[in-house]
Amino acid sequence: MLIPMILIWPYYKMLAVVVDLRHAHWFWITDLSSRDPYFILPTLLVISMVVTQRMTPQVGMDPSQQKMMTLMMPLMMGFIFYNLAAGLNLYYAETNLISIAQQAVMNRTKVGREMREMALKRARKKEKS
């Protein structure tokens, strides 16, 4: 999360000053430097964050904390991104979609299965202590 956040802040600042992006079209959005008129991208952002949270193994975490993180974090990000520039929403939603694909591949590989098994063993060991 740290690397995307480091990139989001300069990207947000850039959207406010770059003249080339003003009135730049992308599908239904007529201006990438203004907010999404139909709020499709913030909705996609929230949905993709929920999917990412559910796909990522969270072994050893308290179930109530896991439920809160799965729902509250995407809702907070949706609230923050609700009125921000469509270009920024597009960047973040696209980053989430790429991370979903990456996590799906990782979950199917041998290394991903081994990492999940190790995390489960650590969680069991922690519960016994």
pLDDT digits (tens, 9 = 90+) for 43-82: 999 999 999 988 887 766 777 888 888 889 899 999 999 9
| Cβ burial, residue 46 (10 Å; 0-12/13-18/19+) | buried
End-to-end CA distance of the chain: 31
pTM of the shown model? 0.76
Domain tally for the chain? 1
Average pLDDT of the residues in 19-23 = 74
Quick: pLDDT tens for 103-121: 898 888 888 888 878 877 8
Range of the domain at 115: 2-128
Per-residue pLDDT band for 84 (boundaries 50, 70, 90) equals confident
Please give the pLDDT value at position 128. Answer: 75
